[in-house]
Copies of this chain bind each other. A is one copy, B any other.
Amino acid sequence: MIAGRCAPARAGRRHCQSVGLTMLRCEFALLLVLFTFLRGSSSIPPHDEVARMARYIVHACDWGSVATISTHPAVGGRPFSNIFSVSDGPLGKGSGHPYLYLTPLDISVKDMQVNAEVSLAMSLAETGYCKKQKFDPESPLCCRVILSGAIMMVNKTEINFAKEALFSRHPAMPDWPHDHGWYFAKLNITNIWVLDYFGGIKTVTPEEYYSVKPEYEGNGEQKL
């Protein structure tokens, strides 16, 4: 194609090389743009390695949907869904523990103060993987994990890791209003469900989940 474009112009070898080089540069730039948008979607665990899949999703997603039992007068006692930023560790250092940065002013955090038992859902629909693979968000192939457990404040021994986990992946957090009483919290996981293939939802025990050693690329990043 490059040679074909040069021929009608009757240009010398040097000019052909110049145009060819320009085209190659452009093609490289195009590939770079595509790669930038599509990365995060190549290496995913086999669907039968369910615990590994759960850890993969929790590390790949940087936000999730938290369900609480509402204490809001309008819908008291009913379920309430809300969005929270989450991180289980800096990229390449996933711990499996979902950390959150909470303020008592949040409508759902008020629920958690009455009943700390929540459910956290995270889906690869958040990462661009499902769209790239043309998997509908509700398809079992658009892998998701649902975690149940209690939200608790992070203790002193864990606070540095929680901070690094959240602030490295949510760089806006340190600047959030200082008078809102932000604190580091984590989900103490008791139950894990994974939907990553046909045949129904599967369970993973916390022991299986935490015993997974995630695979990371040479640069320290999980193969997203």
Contacts and interface: CB of A to CB of B under 8 A. Distances in A.
Interface of A: 5, 9, 11, 14-15, 18-19, 22-23, 26-27, 29-30, 33-34, 37, 62-70, 74-75, 78-85, 101, 105, 107, 117-121, 123, 125-126, 134-139, 142, 144, 146, 148, 170, 172-173, 190-191, 193, 200-201, 203
Nearest to A131: B128
19 contacts: A5-B18, A15-B15, A15-B18, A29-B30, A37-B37, A63-B138, A65-B67, A65-B81, A67-B68, A69-B69, A75-B191, A78-B118, A78-B119, A78-B148, A79-B79, A80-B148, A82-B146, A101-B138, A107-B201
User: Which of A66, A137, A200 has the largest number of chain B CB atoms within 10 A?
Assistant: A137
Contacts of A148: 74-75, 78, 80
Contact of A125 (B23, B70, B126): B126
Contacts of A105: 200
A66 B146 CA distance: 12
A81 B34 CA distance: 33
A200 to B, nearest CB: 7
A171 B69 CA distance: 34
A184 to B, nearest CB: 13
A62 B135 CA distance: 13
Contact of A78 (B9, B75, B84, B117): B117
A29 B11 CA distance: 24
B78 A172 contact: no
A199 to B, nearest CB: 11
User: Which of A26, A34, A64 has the largest number of chain B CB atoms within 10 A?
Assistant: A26
